[in-house]
Amino acid sequence: MGILRLRKGPEDMPAAPALLWLMLLGGVLLRAAAHAMPAPESTGNPAVLMALELGITLGGVMFALRAAGYPERFTQTATSILAVQLVMAPALLATRWLLLTYYETSGMGGLAQLLYVIVAVWLLVATVRILRSATGWPLFGCVVLALGIEMITVIAALALYPPPPETAASPL
């Protein structure tokens, strides 16, 4: 995929609503697979969390494109972002599995963390490239936008499903 290699942009993606729906379905399946993995921090309804993540991502893209004056680019931009996430899904899921499985192991835990960060950063780079090409905004603004969408998603998820209170250690 040329977008992941930073050689193409969302303008090279067909403006087909059916393709957007297909990528949206793929995004739901990707998130369902990620939520199916056992994780110690898993809380909340996975369906609600998936809808929240996709809704905030697509809403953020729509808001940015309207602010930039290019609302007609939504289909291509959203399709590109979802396609990049879908193509990176095997690497994300594999590194997440490594991280969850080998977190406690000293050598493998560090390697798993490094691999997860590399994949996550590359996904961020590709997303920022898509947003920059679609909006025409400077690089810094697109980094802030991409990270802002992620932060709003986390804040909304924590507002819906706050972490359980930790039990206080009883004095001896």
Closest CA to 16 of 79, 60, 69: 79
How far is residue 11 CA from its own chain's centroid? 21
Give the three-state DSSP class for 47: helix
Each residue's pLDDT tens digit, 82-116: 999 999 988 988 888 888 888 777 678 788 889 98
- The pTM score is 0.86
Q: Residue 7 corresponds to which tokens in the numbers above?
A: 């050689």
Sorted by where each begins, the domain ranges of the chain are 11-160
Q: What is the pLDDT of residue 113?
A: 86
Each residue's pLDDT tens digit, 41-87: 667 888 899 999 999 999 999 999 999 999 999 999 999 999 999 99
Q: What percent of the chain has pLDDT over 70?
A: 92
